[in-house]
Structure 1
Amino acid sequence: MVVIAAGRRADQPGEIERLLGPIWVGTFDEAQMHTPVAVTDKALHFLRARGADGLVTIGGGSAIGLSKALALRTDLPQIVLPTTYAGSEVTPVVGETRDGQKQIFSDPRILPESVIYDVDLTLAVRPGAAVLSGLNAIAHAVEALYARDRNPLVSSIAIAGIELLASALPVIARDGSDIPARARALQGAWLCGTCLALVGMSLHHKLCHTLGGMFDLPHAALHAAVLPHAAAFNESAVREHLKPVARIFGAADAATGLYRFACELGVEMALGAIGMPESGVATAVEATLENPYWNPRALTAEGLRALLEDAFAGRPPYIQTRRE
């Protein structure tokens, strides 16, 4: 077995190496966010050189993304121990980046065979990073509520996941050692990730994949900053579907509730502040329109430009009027 990680936070990979004993043949701890193909190729060589027959992966989205990219190429079984709350560990989806473009793959081989949830493993993740990963998970559930292939069961799962994270994240932000809150967040992440595994993606994920690949922006922070604006863009088309989100966050509309919630948690909401160049707005609009995901509201250059300009500046979301 090879251990996959992104660095050696709290020496968690070392503990796994010890527990695996003689079946451990090496650790690849160079996983990076957005799963660059060059890193995956390096890890693939590492696996083959050691004759690995399985993967034990510990960490957040970077480590899990690399593990899933390796499984897509090798069909090796994966045992995943998530330490954050994005929910990636329960999806058959991986996004890989090459030359500034992020490509999404969905395949049964990508889905990990086993997931082990251990609250203690999440304690090494600082509260700020934990909160951002939870907002990433919420994004999966929000889009599931108005997905083209949505259904009542997935909507129920999505609402339950959002409720759990909405209750847990403020507690974690105040006290990262709160075990019950960390446990609720793990459960919420599992539910929200399950939504992404069951239904398709829309504008929010398309924008995050585009911006992340182009500008190498921090993955979870990117989801947190874009989500209220994507919800605002679609709100007029799917207001009934988003009513539970508005209710959970105590706001008149989902977009305002999501934005206010993130701000109250101390999250940076300006894309410009997390590394996106202002000139990137036009480039991102063009790329999004060139290969769009299905969306409940028709995409226009004008509407996307307004969305991204607001997100770049970190302004509160504006509910765009439906014109189509």
Structure 2
Amino acid sequence: MTAFTYDALPGRVVFGPGVASTRLIAEVDAFGAQRILLIAGESETALARELCAPFADRVTATFSGIRPHVPLEVAESAREAAADADLVLCVGGGSTTGTAKAVALTTGLPIVAVPTTYAGSEVTPVWGLTQGSRKTTGTDPVVLPRTVVYDPDLTLTLPAALSVASGLNAMAHCVEAFWAPRRNPVSSAVAEDGIRHLAAGLPVIATDPEDGGARADLLLGAYLAGSAFAVAGSGLHHKICHVLGGAFDLPHAETHAIVLPYVLAFNAPNAPRAATRIAAALGQQDAVQGLHELGHKLGVPAGLRELGLGRSDVDAVLDDILALAPADNPSPVTANGLKALLVAAWSGTAPTGEDA
């Protein structure tokens, strides 16, 4: 056993079917909040207001102008809405949580998060803002939600296709935790268990979106994934997806779902122990093939070109990704290797480790 450092992150988690309806008021009361900024996208505003009904008089402002990758102008508008608030309550997916984090980053306000997807952002201290075509990310404990209320019932109406993409985005957090810069035995164990729950829930949800047990598996897997990612940090996969998402406004979850098996194929030859553990958690003999086949079975788009990315766009972001590539990535990141990875992910060809 090698020496390691593990930074356990503070935060309260309340998990269970129906807890958003029965426990949210107590979690809000714990902060003594009297002026709450509610952040929820337009599609979730009705749900958010229903959950807030027991303390509606304390919701003094609502912000619904959510956009993916949190453009700076959206962050500034949300911060203006928080002028008199003493708590931020966010109900929604990763972009909604990201907007709440943008508010906390400059105001220091505590966040109570109620996730409705499997983004995992609610348990990480990572924030992201996009200005123009460039996305900037950072880490600050002030943006880490103080309390997270996980209610599988809130995900029952999440469409199957979005559930799959969001679940595979969580899978990316788990896989990358095995070789991210601050990896350690604890975060790897958490990530491995997260993969097991996600692999169990995803195929079921694809055919029966209202299966409560599978929804609970996915939500627990997403929590474990976010927890592992929060401690281990961001590796090559996330650097690629953040640059692509910020530059071309690609859908966050779908981009991660498509790129993941290609980064795994790139790194697996030089991270055999990690690949073995990932394969075992997936219930497969080979991690790369197993993950690629899972995505294909679940209907993940075959390549980034199906999201509207042009072939020339790959060349346009190579230098930006190279500048961010971690120095300790299992496979050295070269211009030729990275280009081969991106072209394969763009075209949707079967992932291999030949270019690592």
Deviations 1:290-317 (A, max 9, x none): 3323422211111111111111111110
| TM-score normalized by the length of structure 2 | 0.87
Q: Secondary structure of 2:136's match?
A: strand
Counterpart position of 1:44 = 79
Counterpart position of 1:271 = 304
One-letter code aligned to 1:217: L
Aligned match for 2:340, one of 306, 311, 316 = 306
Matched, 1:208 2:241: yes
Confirm or deny: 8 A CA contact 1:236 1:321 kept in the other structure: no
One-letter code aligned to 1:97: T
Q: 1:101 to 1:293 in 2, by over 3 A?
A: farther
Matched, 1:108 2:137: no
Q: Secondary structure of 2:42's match?
A: coil
One-letter code aligned to 1:81: V
Deviations 1:159-202 (A, max 9, x none): 10000000001111111111111011111111010001111221
> How many positions carry a matched residue from both structures?
320
Q: Secondary structure of 2:193's match?
A: helix
Matched, 1:149 2:182: yes
CA distance in 2, matches of 1:108, 1:265: 35
Q: Secondary structure of 1:268's match?
A: coil
CA distance in 2, matches of 1:180, 1:252: 26
Confirm or deny: 8 A CA contact 1:3 1:27 kept in the other structure: yes
One-letter code aligned to 2:169: N
Counterpart position of 1:178 = 211
* % same residue: 43
| TM-score normalized by the length of structure 1 | 0.95
Counterpart position of 2:97 = 64
Confirm or deny: 8 A CA contact 1:37 1:97 kept in the other structure: yes
Confirm or deny: 8 A CA contact 1:231 1:255 kept in the other structure: yes
Confirm or deny: 8 A CA contact 2:237 2:263 kept in the other structure: yes
One-letter code aligned to 2:172: A
CA distance in 1, matches of 2:332, 2:348: 24
One-letter code aligned to 2:168: L
Structure 1 unaligned blocks of 5 or more: none
CA distance in 1, matches of 2:153, 2:55: 19
Counterpart position of 1:165 = 198
Aligned match for 1:32, one of 67, 71, 74 = 67
Q: How many Å apart are 1:9 and its aligned residue?
A: 3.4
Q: How many Å apart are 1:21 and its aligned residue?
A: 2.0
Q: 1:252 to 1:120 in 2, by over 3 A?
A: closer
CA distance in 1, matches of 2:45, 2:210: 15
Q: How many Å apart are 1:149 and its aligned residue?
A: 2.6
